[in-house]
Structure 1
Amino acid sequence: RQMCHTGKEGGLVRIDFLKKEEGDFMMLVLQRLPQVIEELQDKGFRASDIGILVRYNNEGAAVINSIIGYSAAAGDEKNNRYNYSIVSGESLFLNASPAVKFIIALFGYLLNPSDNLSLAVMIRSWLLATGKTGSEKDLSETAAQADELWPADWKIFISRLRQKPVFEAVEQIIRYFSLGSAGDNSSFLHAFQDAVFEYSVNFSTDIQSFLEWWELYGPDKSLALSDRQDSIKVMTIHKAKGLEFRAVIVPFITWPLGHGRKNPIIWVNPSEEPFNRLSLVPVKYKTDLQNSFFSPDYNAETYNARIDNLNLLYVAFTRAREVLMGFCPDEPEKDSVAGWIKSVLTVKPEKADDKPLLDLPDYFNPGNNVFLAGDYPEPEAMQHRGEERTFGAGGYHAGGDLPGLHIKLHGEKWFLKQDEKQKSKLNYGRLMHDILSAVITPEDIPGAVRKMVLDGRITEKEGAETVERISLALETAQVKEWFGPDQKILTEKDILTPEGDMKRPDRIILSGNKATVVDYKFGNIRDEDTRQVARYRRLLTDMGYENAEAFIWYVDGNKVIKVE
């Protein structure tokens, strides 16, 4: 029962309850969706006026595939009359583009040339991105197939990318493999390079680091969809917050009121012995908690879960401006949103007062199991689809081989003349600390220095000087022992003190109950250096290392001082 609102006319709400004996619920809904879309367009709604809201991404994928399949089989007459164009945020993810998939797979192959899986992904993605045939062929003989498809020097080309900044490498890949010639790739490639540029500005510029970043954040990168595109929008209810559509379809109202079959971990603050000895206790959410010390926490979690799921329904239903349509199973699962809706729409409440109220069950037809209230609004003037004007990007135009500017992304000057050395001491020390933190054994020196070059912190010439300088310093007998193989090394790891402070020694070497702490210094010998490293040694002793040693290594003078 709902309070009546006045002053607004028009609008329709329809909820269909589908019977189990008619077939699988999801399949029934997918079969009915095209007819619902056609009915809405017959009433004057454009495709862009329609939003289909789902709870889960796999439901959105099922809707898109169903509509695309229906459109392909509908014939010219229906496709000329109705607009079945449908898009979703997921379909616009950059990872959905074969061209982007090709570039990411190529980077994987570059770092591991024996990775035949990456090469197979490269071949298939390239065929799809360039419109070539054969993408469904057996790719077991990847090397031979690659040689047939690409120029003879393709392996040499890829190997040369290793030392390129990632943005420049992508430009060269697009040009060499003709990815930009297909118009369908253009928007995705532009967006991908925007993401590459964003990464390069804020982080490193080498390919391996970019791949690690892309694995974490790439799946969320997508194209921005124009509001003027006349297409049906499919999205999750969460992503629809703040949006509205003239007509909303909620096809699968099946989610639970609470946590359903899930048993999440809840963190409780117990007051009963012996659990109150811990400030927080992780407990698996299940009905057995009702008969335990954690009953109040279980009830609070159940209440919050119900509120969250009802709020989700509220968000979905309130996205509709004129028409709301939904589908529920006629025999919903116990404690589900669909069960709650059916109870509200079919059970007549007792009237408690004389206020004007809307009895929702009056609009439910038990004959066809449909709740129907209201009417379609007056149709708006429809624009014929042929009047729409579209413009293509015409392909992606990759940069040429002209000499480019080499921009140093960091403003510090690490290597200065002797009379300027005092001014650069802090910057120089930071650089050397960053390099040594990545060096476990002497074999790691070139790679650690190379990363500084790729990051723009030092030049190629300065990099060569640094490799030579550090390699020479590590030849000292005492220092060489700290960088030897077959040791457990911790670099730049925090130690939590009893006072709650954090201490971070440069290097700790662990062997049984022996611990050796080494701190690097770049400058003159100072008394506070000794006090600092002595504190590190005491912390290791307090942690249970009976044999703890501490050293200060003054790198420039290659002098080692043992701290007692």
Structure 2
Amino acid sequence: MINNIKQQLTLGYRQKDIIILVRKKSEALEAAHALIDANLRVISSESLMLTNSPKVRLLVNLFVYLTDSRNEIAKAEILYNYLVYIKQSYSDLNAIFTDKLNSDKLFQEFMPAGFWGSNGNLNINILSGKSIYALTEDLIKMFGLGNSPDIYLLRFLDVIKKYSDENNSDVYGFTDWWQEHREESTIIVPEEEDAIRVMTIHKVKGLQSPVVYIPFANWDFTINPQSAYMWVSSNKTPFDFSQAYYVKSSPSLGNTYFSDDYLEEAALTILDNLNLLYVAFTRAEDKLFIGLPQKGKNSFNAGNLILDTLKNSAELNVNFNAESGSYDIGSVNYSGKFKEADTGTKAYKLNNLITSDFAEKILIKPEFDSFKPEDFSSLKNLKNRGSIIHKALSYVNEISDKETENVINRMISQGLINAEQKSEWKSELREILSDAELKKWFNSESKVMNEREIVLPDGKIYRPDRVILNSNSTIVLDYKSGIKLKDHETQIKLYGSILKEMGYKNIELYLYYITIKKILKVNIN
């Protein structure tokens, strides 16, 4: 089938001009994988599940192993998918699935560089502190899974990203979630793409295509006794006791009191399958290719029905080659009536799966990058004293003992002060907030904005230390350490003019000098 499809493409047909019709989802999966392996694009509403990818299965089992190194099933699955499917370097399945009995020799030997630490145990840096997405990218690089573009891996990364956004970034949680939702995760390809469509016959009704393939035209016309159940009834004693019975279908029902219902169901099943055959045969606008895999000479199926019709029809038999079992009629050339239409959708081919180290993607600037911790117990010896008080005041919303306690504990947790300095800092903060004039700006009645950024149209950013919004005035308070400078007044005047342009009225400007504990009022003009 693959060679024939490629021949049609060379004749001038597009991939989107081709439909592959199948009866069952398992056949859709087989056809889709064959097309993907041949580097053909595929659109399928059937069973292109991520769990069918060895690379995805490898990653999922690596997640399981990293969270539970005693899971022998996960280790066997890792070896199987990695060595047999991905590297294609090992074929002894017995050795793979009995590796536990051999002290995990294969598992220790074939894992890639970086998987094991210098002590021979699992490299703890693989999992340490990483989100599920970052971990996945690291494993893709470590196991060489991204050397070529892979639609399954790309979609799997999308699924992980969506899970992280909606739930959490924890690998433990994802493995549990995946077990429950893995059947829902499939490859997504836009309908406008130039790609071959793989569909079940049930879903193709009403659609047509220039070229149609039916690679598995051998489905049974009879009721499947292994899986089908049916309702039956009888007016014969003792079965007339109930209106209906739910029984497993079997040809033997034709010789029972339920024969009428069984024969009716068998006839309807044959009719349904004939209708499917009719639908499949009438979807092609230009060319129809049918494959008839062998399925028992005596079974009543679509393939045998087609062959019997070709052999026994005087009209059709003329083009039937009994020796090769092939039937050819019509021209193999491209009719030329199907022209490319510009849908506005463009596809770009990736040469490899693009991943990068999470640490290289984003640079986080620490809030206290210039702060150097000091171990002096006395506040007067601290070089950072002014900066620490400045930060503490930005945390204060109101004056109370509870608020003071919370602010000091927050400073300790951030590493700005140590626990031994706690009592001294509490006294310092209480003394500052006891100032009568300063105190009025730390009440719960006003709306306060601490270190709130103001972004101007030209992109410049300003951040006043404290803006208090009262019903009839706007107070701007800026904290300064060290001696008085003219620049301090210039800066707070700029804050005032910006707020004035923003529509705030009755603006008052104040500088609080931490070291000398003095407040300076600045005229806005």
The answer to whether residue 293 in structure 2 is matched with residue 338 in structure 1 is no
- CA drift at 1:294: 1.4
User: d(CA) in 2 for partners of 1:222 and 1:317?
Assistant: 29
User: d(CA) in 2 for partners of 1:128 and 1:328?
Assistant: 31
User: d(CA) in 1 for partners of 2:293 and 2:60?
Assistant: 43
Counterpart of 2:348 in structure 1 is 390
Q: CA 1:44 to 1:108, structure 2 compared with 1: closer, same or farther past 3 Å?
A: same
**1:314-333, Cα deviation, whole Å (9 max, x unpaired):** 33223322111224479954
Q: CA 1:118 to 1:96, structure 2 compared with 1: closer, same or farther past 3 Å?
A: same
The residue identity in structure 1 corresponding to 2:187 is: L
Instruction: Structure 2 unaligned segments of length 5 or more: list them.
Output: 100-104, 341-345, 366-525
The residue identity in structure 2 corresponding to 1:49 is: D
User: d(CA) in 2 for partners of 1:103 and 1:42?
Assistant: 38
Q: CA 1:310 to 1:121, structure 2 compared with 1: closer, same or farther past 3 Å?
A: same
Counterpart of 1:85 in structure 2 is 40
The answer to whether residue 234 in structure 2 is matched with residue 274 in structure 1 is no
User: d(CA) in 1 for partners of 2:81 and 2:299?
Assistant: 45
- CA drift at 1:283: 1.5
User: d(CA) in 2 for partners of 1:263 and 1:310?
Assistant: 20
User: d(CA) in 1 for partners of 2:316 and 2:87?
Assistant: 56
Counterpart of 2:522 in structure 1 is none
User: d(CA) in 2 for partners of 1:133 and 1:334?
Assistant: 38
Counterpart of 2:136 in structure 1 is 173
User: d(CA) in 2 for partners of 1:269 and 1:226?
Assistant: 49
- CA drift at 1:247: 0.8
The answer to whether residue 20 in structure 2 is matched with residue 52 in structure 1 is yes
Q: How many residues align?
A: 337
Counterpart of 1:378 in structure 2 is 335
Residues 57-456 of structure 1: pairs in structure 2 closer than 5 A: 85=40, 87=42, 89=44, 92-122=48-78, 140=99, 141=105, 142-143=107-108, 145-146=110-111, 148-150=113-115, 152=117, 154-157=122-125, 160=128, 168-175=131-138, 178=141, 182=146, 184=148, 187-196=151-160, 210-227=174-191, 232-234=196-198, 236-238=200-202, 240=204, 243-259=207-223, 262=226, 264-268=228-232, 272-278=236-242, 280-328=244-292, 333-342=298-307, 361-365=314-318, 368-369=321-322, 374-375=330-331, 378-379=335-336, 390-392=348-350, 395-397=354-356, 399-400=358-359
Instruction: Structure 1 unaligned segments of length 5 or more: list them.
Output: 1-32, 72-83, 349-360, 405-564
User: d(CA) in 2 for partners of 1:251 and 1:132?
Assistant: 30
For the 8 Å contact 1:266–1:283, the answer to whether it is kept is yes
- CA drift at 1:261: 6.1
For the residue of structure 2 that corresponds to 1:259, the secondary structure is: coil
User: d(CA) in 2 for partners of 1:256 and 1:147?
Assistant: 48
The residue identity in structure 2 corresponding to 1:303 is: A
The residue identity in structure 2 corresponding to 1:391 is: K
**1:169-226, Cα deviation, whole Å (9 max, x unpaired):** 2333323663698264664344224334555677788655644553354245222235
For the residue of structure 2 that corresponds to 1:249, the secondary structure is: strand
The residue identity in structure 2 corresponding to 1:305 is: T
For the residue of structure 2 that corresponds to 1:303, the secondary structure is: helix
User: d(CA) in 2 for partners of 1:145 and 1:269?
Assistant: 62
For the 8 Å contact 1:55–1:237, the answer to whether it is kept is yes
For the 8 Å contact 2:21–2:199, the answer to whether it is kept is yes
For the 8 Å contact 1:44–1:382, the answer to whether it is kept is no
For the 8 Å contact 2:222–2:270, the answer to whether it is kept is yes
Q: CA 1:391 to 1:287, structure 2 compared with 1: closer, same or farther past 3 Å?
A: closer
**1:315-372, Cα deviation, whole Å (9 max, x unpaired):** 3223322111224479954432234445655656xxxxxxxxxxxx534416625655
User: d(CA) in 2 for partners of 1:147 and 1:372?
Assistant: 52
- CA drift at 1:104: 0.8
For the 8 Å contact 1:51–1:249, the answer to whether it is kept is yes
For the residue of structure 1 that corresponds to 2:187, the secondary structure is: coil
Q: CA 1:145 to 1:96, structure 2 compared with 1: closer, same or farther past 3 Å?
A: same
* Percentage of identical aligned residues: 26
Q: What RMSD, in angstroms, separates the aligned Cα atoms of the two structures?
A: 4.7
Q: Which has the larger radius of gyration?
A: 2
For the residue of structure 1 that corresponds to 2:265, the secondary structure is: helix
For the 8 Å contact 1:269–1:279, the answer to whether it is kept is yes
For the 8 Å contact 1:51–1:232, the answer to whether it is kept is yes
User: d(CA) in 2 for partners of 1:322 and 1:238?
Assistant: 21
